[in-house]
Amino acid sequence: QGFNVGKPPYGYRPVQVRLDGSNSDGPHPTTAHDSQGGLDLLGGGVDLPGRGGGHRGKGRTGPRTKTRLVPDPVEAETVRRIYAWRIAERIGYQMIAERLNLDLRLNPPPSPPDMTRAVGRWTAGSVREVLVQPKYTGYMVWNRRAMKTRSGSPNPVEAWVWSSRPVHDPIVDLDTFIAAQQVTQRRERSRSQPGRNRHPQTKRSYLLRSYVFCAACGRRMFGKTRRKAFYACAPKSNQTRPAGHPDSLWVAEEELLEGLSQFLADHVFGSYRRQLLSANLKQLDQSERDEHAQRVAAAEKALDSVEQRRRRLLHILEMTDDPDPDLLRDISSRRAELTTEQDQLTSVLRRLRQQRQHQPNIDLLDTLPVGAVDITALPEALARQLFEALRLELHYDKERHTARYRVTLAGDTVSTAQTTAHAAIHQATNNRTDDPGPVSDEADRFPSAMCPRQDSNLRRTV
């Protein structure tokens, strides 16, 4: 418990620790060992010969040892760099790998256990392994894969078993790791590069690709072309679909872009953006507090339920005068399952109670420039860079025919948003200077003579 098994994750190097404590810094934080290398079970001081854990190595007769993780100075910096890029710019695995490969001396690639398989560079898969490794937080984590029931398939995060406290030096903190997982959930199966994909039949790209979500089911909508660009949501027959969700729903890209341009002009780059944000903060803050309180209450209720089931097991045992071995074995097995579940719920509840209630910082909005940005006039690469920097999300509600636009500014990413916003406004200013656009005398003199847009009835919400 608490010691590493197998090859250390990239960023750490192994240090052998003798179980007799002769070269350790004291008792291990999660396991008490006796002086002979055995485990002190349940405080009873029972030594189990031959089962004390650790290893001597083939042909060795020395004391048993186990492995503790110690950060590697060079590789640890590479790990932090990967997490910083992922969170600040939300770029994909392949783009991160390409950046790392520009300087392999600064960012040494990982080496597999079998060196004949080493490729000598970073790949999308090796970057992913870094970003999903929870041991970088300093905690030891078990049960990440279902080795006995599902042939090693990954378990959901809720099924992971975390050590009660850190057991080795962290490379990234827990908040950073969680932020990276949130990016992964949002970016799943979405590439970072702008423009068309590599499929030979691809004819166009979609400016809002990966930013549009269906409000009914929460799925990311995909681009479709029917004379013009649309975004569609069409869950497959084997996927869960909320009641009332149609087989497919569509929304035109130009409608979304029109609402997005107005949202950015008013709430992000407008002169009155601070006043507009302040008007909504009270309601937003209260809803977040209520949601957090509900999660804590649900975890406490689940933990209480597990404790009641444990007590019922003990009551059954007490009421049985002469329990047979099969009953004892079943009760012991069930008690072990409940103990594991209790440990998981305790860990979840502890993290929920330790979560800081972040207060929105209005001052971050003032770091962005004030100016007009025409999204449709920006180069696609710059427009998508702006969307990523602002953490843009669009949630389309088919029933109400409304779109909810959301951007997120954080202290560790605001500098990227500021730089990109300046570039976008500068580009928009140059576009207006170089091409003022056609001037229609008829439109100036008779505004009502111009045909209204037929698709401009999309209502915008903030």
Residues 104 and 145 both lie in one domain: yes
CB 64 within 8 A of CB 55: yes
Residues 345 and 376 both lie in one domain: no
Strand partners, 226: 228
3-state percent helix, strand, coil for the chain, nearest multiple of 5: 45, 15, 45
Look up tokens 């975390």; give the residue.
162
pLDDT, position 83: 94
CB 182 within 8 A of CB 393: no
Report CA dihedral (325, 329, 330, 334) to the nearest 10 degrees. Answer: 150
Residue 140: inside a domain, yes or no?
yes
Residues 325 and 375 both lie in one domain: no
As a whole number of angstroms, the distance between CA 393 and CA 212 comes to 6
140: domain CATH number? Answer: 3.90.1750.20
As a whole number of angstroms, the distance between CA 262 and CA 394 comes to 13
pLDDT, position 429: 72
Residues 389 and 301 both lie in one domain: no
Residue 246: inside a domain, yes or no?
no
Side chain identity, residue 163: S
Residues 134 and 167 both lie in one domain: yes
Residue 78: inside a domain, yes or no?
yes
As a whole number of angstroms, the distance between CA 423 and CA 369 comes to 10
pLDDT, position 73: 93
Domain boundary among 167, 187, 207: 187
Residues 396 and 345 both lie in one domain: no
pLDDT, position 438: 53
Residue 197: inside a domain, yes or no?
no
CB 174 within 8 A of CB 137: yes
| Rg of the chain taking only CA atoms, in angstroms | 28
Residue 306 CA: distances (Å) to CA of 238, 295, 342: 33, 17, 6
Contacts 24+ apart (CB under 8 A), 287-290: 288/357, 289/357
Residues 348 and 388 both lie in one domain: no
Domain count, the chain: 3
Closest-CA residue to 424 (of 391, 458, 379, 462): 379
Residues 317 and 387 both lie in one domain: no
Domain that holds residue 299: 273-354
CB 44 within 8 A of CB 56: no
pLDDT, position 436: 55
Residue 2 CB coordination number (10 Å): 18
Residue 55: inside a domain, yes or no?
no
Residues 95 and 170 both lie in one domain: yes
Residue 315: inside a domain, yes or no?
yes
Residue 289: inside a domain, yes or no?
yes
Residues 78 and 182 both lie in one domain: yes
Residues 414 and 347 both lie in one domain: no
Residue 361 CA: distances (Å) to CA of 274, 285, 376: 11, 12, 30
Residues 78 and 176 both lie in one domain: yes
Token pair belonging to 445? 């003199």
DSSP 247-302: S-EEEEHHHHHHHHHHHIIIIISSTTHHHHHHHHHHHHHHHHHHHHHHHHHHHHHH
Residue 82 CB coordination number (10 Å): 26
Provide the residue-wise pLDDT of the chain in tens; the chain has 462 residues.
567 778 899 999 988 887 765 554 444 444 433 333 333 323 333 333 344 445 555 555 667 788 889 999 999 999 999 999 888 877 888 889 999 999 999 999 998 877 777 788 999 999 999 999 999 999 988 888 877 666 678 887 777 888 888 889 999 998 889 888 888 766 555 555 555 656 666 666 788 888 899 888 888 888 888 888 899 998 876 667 777 788 889 999 999 999 998 888 888 888 888 877 777 666 666 666 777 778 888 888 888 888 888 888 887 777 777 777 777 777 778 877 888 888 778 877 777 776 655 566 777 777 888 887 878 888 888 888 888 888 888 999 988 889 999 888 876 667 777 788 888 887 777 766 655 555 444 444 444 333 434 344 555 555
Residue 243: inside a domain, yes or no?
no
Domain boundary among 308, 328, 354: 354
pLDDT, position 128: 92
Domain boundary among 354, 380, 406: 354
